[in-house]
C-alpha cells in the first residue's frame, strides 16, 4: 500500500460512516455495549441476549447517545489490563467484523481482554 493510499483510509471510513447512518449507529451501539458491560466482547453479549432477551429489552436504551447493541463485531480495548474503550465493525458477516476489530486492536499493541 502506498503512503497516499494509507493516508486516505481514515477519510474513507469517516465518509462511509456518514453516508450509512444505520451502519454507523450499529457500530456505535456495539462499541458502547462492550464498554458499558465492563469490557465484554460482542460475541459474549450476543449470547447473553439469546439466553435472556428480556434483560436487553430493558437496558438497550441506557447508552449515552446510542442504544446498546449486543452483537458480534465489537471488542473491548485494553492497555496494560485497563479498559480504555472499544472498537466495532458492521456490514460484513459477524465473523469478518470481529476479525477486523481484532486486527485493529492488535495493530495498536493493545489486547481484547485483561
In a domain, 112, yes or no: no
| Average pLDDT over the chain, rounded to an integer | 80
| Range in 36-40, 50-54, 82-86, 96-100 with the lowest mean pLDDT | 50-54
Which triple of cell numbers denotes residue 17? 460512516
3-class state of residue 86 by DSSP: strand
Higher-confidence residue of 11 and 56: namely: 56
Residues 93-107 have a mean pLDDT of 92
pLDDT tens track for 10-25: 444 544 455 477 788 8
In a domain, 52, yes or no: yes
The pLDDT, as a whole number, for residue 9 is: 41
In a domain, 89, yes or no: yes
Which triple of cell numbers denotes residue 94? 459477524
The residue segments making up the domain with residue 54 are 3-107
The pLDDT, as a whole number, for residue 91 is: 84
In a domain, 85, yes or no: yes
Residue 6 has pLDDT above 90, yes or no: no
The CATH number linked to 42 is: 3.30.450.150
The pLDDT, as a whole number, for residue 11 is: 44
Residue 77: which H helix or E strand, with range?
strand 74-79
In a domain, 34, yes or no: yes
Residue 54: which H helix or E strand, with range?
helix 53-59
In a domain, 28, yes or no: yes
Report yes or no: 63 and 111 within 8 Å, Cβ to Cβ.
Answer: no
Distance CA 42, CA 103 (A): 15
In a domain, 114, yes or no: no
**How many folded domains does the chain comprise?**
1
Which triple of cell numbers denotes residue 19? 453516508
Which residue do the cell numbers 430493558 mark?
58
3-class state of residue 84 by DSSP: strand
Amino acid at each position: 500500500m502506498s503512503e497516499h493510499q494509507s493516508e486516505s483510509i481514515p477519510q474513507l471510513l469517516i465518509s462511509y460512516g456518514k453516508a450509512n447512518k444505520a451502519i454507523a449507529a450499529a457500530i456505535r451501539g456495539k462499541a458502547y455495549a462492550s464498554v458499558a458491560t465492563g469490557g465484554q466482547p460482542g460475541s459474549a453479549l450476543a449470547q447473553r441476549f439469546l439466553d435472556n432477551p428480556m434483560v436487553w429489552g430493558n437496558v438497550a436504551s441506557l447508552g449515552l447517545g446510542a442504544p446498546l447493541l449486543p452483537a458480534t463485531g465489537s471488542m473491548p480495548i485494553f492497555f496494560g489490563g485497563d479498559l480504555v474503550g472499544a472498537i466495532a465493525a458492521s456490514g460484513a458477516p459477524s465473523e469478518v467484523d470481529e476479525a477486523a476489530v481484532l486486527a485493529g486492536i492488535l495493530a495498536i499493541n493493545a489486547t481484547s481482554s485483561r
